[in-house]
Amino acid sequence: MNRRIFLQHAGLAAGALAGASRLAGAAAAPRRRLAHVGLELYTVRHELARDAEKTLAAVKAIGYEYVEVVWPMLTKTPAQFRAMLDRNGLRAPSGHLSASAFEVGWERRLEAARVLGHQYLFVASLPSEARQTIDDWRDWAGHFNKAAAVARRHDMWLGFHTEPDHFQPIGGRVPYDVFVEHLDPALVRLQLDVGNVAMAGLDPLTYLKRWRDRYWSFHVKDVPVVGVARDTTLGAGKLDLAGLLSAAGNLDRKLVYVEEEGSSDALASARLDYQYLAGLELK
């Protein structure tokens, strides 16, 4: 066998061995899972109202590491609620508040957010009477940019959440799209509720692909029927949650919250949802 033929055969053999090694390595490599899972406290709003301390302890016992605070539901001072979180081994990296927070005492609210341990304050929606036109949505984006600039001086991020009614076209334009296009990405970050987008009859993956690097927080919610405003236990609905989360970018730097709004037994549902999400293999 001459040298050229020998080298060809040797190269083929080496390639086959390398290919087999790669396949074996791929087969042995563990699938990715979420490192951290949080709970949006609106899920357990009734339980919190009855006994906040007991509810937070139950949330921690399920396995959740952090929670999202709904500010209008707070019945304790920020310092008191933070103490309850600390006693139960939970943290609250973000909270939901209304757009009216910008109008008076915005810097005081930012200081209260710091006490709670927040990095983010997300506005869930805009007042319905103040977002009737596309120009209204553009104006709101300007208000957000100004308020967010103040938030950054306090080392806080202002963000915006998605609701199903943000996607109903006005004059041929999707108001949410116009709003996001006019937000300053250096100042305002976004929270994607994948279930709410599906309730609007749209594919949340479309938005993830479009603005993935602007979404820093997620509400993971499943729906039994796309286009209908109703949620269900994670994994029992229509959404490809593994595919969505796999497309979300570096989740070690982002917040992932379970949310199920319509359960008759919120803590039982929160347990099932946690088990599903913590065991989910990402693609």
In Å, what is the CA distance from 129 to each residue of 9, 133, 181? 76, 10, 21
Distance CA 120, CA 67 (A): 12
Residue among 72, 109, 68 at smallest CA distance from 90: 68
In tens, the pLDDT along 116-146 reads 999 999 999 999 999 999 999 999 999 999 9
* pTM greater than 0.85 (yes/no): yes
Structure tokens at 122: 């997300």
Distance CA 96, CA 73 (A): 10
Three-class SS state of 173: strand
Distance CA 22, CA 20 (A): 5
The CATH class that applies to domain 34-278 reads alpha beta
DSSP state of 49: H
Per-domain residue ranges of the chain: 1-30, 34-278
Residue holding tokens 């927080």? 217
Mean pLDDT of 94-107: 94
In tens, the pLDDT along 196-238 reads 999 999 999 999 999 999 999 999 999 999 999 999 999 999 9
Structure tokens at 258: 């379970």
Residue holding tokens 């709904």? 70
